[in-house]
A and B are shown apart, each in its own frame.
Chain A
């Protein structure tokens, strides 16, 4: 059973650049959520995608955008990178609207460093 996968593992960018992170959900899941985890903190919810639409969004600026593809995989895009965007970005997948399927399963994360 394939788990959640993310690419790349690590990424180094400079301020002002743009970055795209990728996620493939666990087999059988149709919903992808993205989280940002700063060093020494718990993850913070960015947004969730289901049926190729953004369903819920956390307190993140419009520089953070996303996309979901028909095969349920997802991308997270961050424009005009700031030093404060340096973090571990976690993708989590789940099954939408099914009882007992609220549980989110996480990928290994992408470590983004902004210089």
Chain B
């Protein structure tokens, strides 16, 4: 069965420090996107960053960046200068195999707490 694995159920970081969340995935798609979503207690799933698998350059969005290792099927998220508002569940997602139109399989999430 297709899987996305987030090996860190919970993490904490001090405000202004850097934290890295890990993710490995499994897909048979050749061209695909990978995603990190954030879900704060408000429940809204918010897109954090997207990586195109055929691009070697790692994606960056302000304080968020990824380390994408295609051969290893690894896709980690680095948050720099952590802020209290970054406290949330973070989900890694990869495309569902079988001709998906953007449909996703998610990991179980990492609960990130940013402490003052």
Contact = CB atoms under 8 A, between A and B. Distances in A.
Interface of A: 31, 33, 40-45, 48, 50, 55-56, 58, 88, 90, 92, 94, 96-97, 100-109, 111
Given A103-B47, A108-B42, A45 B101 contact: no
Contacts of B105: 45
B98 A102 contact: no
Contacts of A55: 101
Given A94-B101, A109-B44, 6 more contacts: A45-B96, A56-B98, A56-B99, A58-B96, A104-B104, A108-B42
Nearest to A107: B44
Contacts of B98: 56
19 contacts: A33-B103, A41-B108, A42-B91, A42-B107, A43-B91, A43-B104, A44-B106, A45-B96, A45-B103, A56-B96, A56-B98, A92-B45, A94-B101, A102-B102, A103-B50, A103-B102, A104-B104, A105-B47, A109-B45
Nearest to A57: B103
